[in-house]
Amino acid sequence: AQKITQTQPGMFVQEKEAVTLDCTYDTSDQSYGLFWYKQPSSGEMIFLIYQGSYDEQNATEGRYSLNFQKARKSANLVISASQLGDSAMYFCAMRVRGTGNQFYFGTGTSLTVIP
Amino acid sequence: DAGVIQSPRHEVTEMGQEVTLRCKPISGHDYLFWYRQTMMRGLELLIYFNNNVPIDDSGMPEDRFSAKMPNASFSTLKIQPSEPRDSAVYFCASSLNWGTQYFGPGTRLLVL
């Protein structure tokens, strides 16, 4: 069975500090993609970053980077220089090619940036 | 380039009424997904289409829910009859092949 686990229901970080949001995944498939989405209080789901299972380098998008450790099956999101606008729910998701391209979402982590 | 468009953005209805949610995916995307999000159950996949064909509807809660995709640029999710427990945010998302899913703004449904 495919599964995404986010063990941190809530996180706090001081403004301008870096924060890591944890995500572990479980799949026996070799071909998969890992995604992070941000959901602010306004409700929209915003795509942040993507990592393919065959990508050798960690993905980066501006202040976001994905710490991909394939052997540990982890795909942690690192946000550098936190801003107040980063306060939101963050969802980790996995797409597995062998399952008809279905997405599996984690339960999310609520991040609060403290001024 | 327009993103995924959903309408209405908010819907308030009474129990027993029919509710129709609409979605226009990003042009050229071949996958379309319907999700429901609640505090209790999180984000749930209801159904998804590939090239307008329903692939997996195992997440549809019951026969009161139905979804159609008559063409590549339009999909509907219908609830008939609606019940208070259907109150949730309903998201539509689309993707090109097995790439990133892009979400619409969601429809906030309240069934009284």
Among A45, A97, A101, select the one facing B31 at the smallest CB separation.
Answer: A101
pLDDT at B99: 83
Reduced to 3 states (helix: H, G, I; strand: E, B; else coil), residue A64 is strand
Q: Distance between CA atoms of A79 and B112, rounded to whole angstroms?
A: 40
Q: Which two tokens stand for residue B63?
A: 């026969």
A chain contacts of residue B102, beta-carbon cutoff 8 Å: 47
What pLDDT does A113 receive?
97
pLDDT single digits (tens) A45-76: 999 999 999 998 999 999 999 999 999 999 99
Size of interface A-B (CB pairs under 8 A): 46
With an 8 Å Cβ cutoff, is A64 touching chain B? Answer: no
Residues written for chain B: 112
B interface with A, Cβ–Cβ < 8 A, is 31, 33, 42-43, 45, 48, 50, 55-56, 89, 91, 93, 95, 97-103, 105-106, 108
Q: What's at A85, amino acid-wise?
A: G
Diameter over CA atoms, chain A: 44
Reported as type and span, the H/E element at residue A115 is none
What's the whole-number average pLDDT of chain B? 94
pLDDT for B1: 63
Please write the tens of the pLDDT for every residue from B10-50. 999 999 999 999 999 999 999 999 999 998 888 999 999 99
**Does the pLDDT at position B109 exceed 80?**
yes
Q: Looking at residue A99, what is its pLDDT?
A: 64
Cβ atoms of A104 and A94 closer than 8 Å:
yes
In three-state secondary structure terms, A40 is coil
Q: In whole angstroms, give the CA distance from residue B80 to residue B72.
A: 24
Instruction: Flag whether pLDDT at B65 surpasses 70.
Output: yes
Give me the tens of pLDDT residue by residue for chain A, a chain 115 residues long: 669 999 999 999 999 999 999 999 999 888 899 999 999 999 999 999 999 999 989 999 999 999 999 999 999 999 999 999 999 999 999 998 776 667 889 999 999 999 9
Q: How far is CA A105 from the centre of its chain?
A: 10
How far is Cα A53 from Cα A33, in angstroms, rounded to an integer? 6
Return the bridge partners of A114, or none.
Answer: A14
What is the pLDDT at residue A7? 94
pLDDT for position A103 = 80
**Per-residue model confidence (pLDDT) at position A100:** 65
pLDDT > 90 in chain B, percent: 85
Under the banding of pLDDT at 50, 70 and 90, the label for residue B67 is very high
CA atoms within a 13 Å half-sphere pointing along the CA-CB vector of A33: 15
SS3 B55: strand
Chain B residues whose CB is inside 8 A of the A105 CB are 42-43
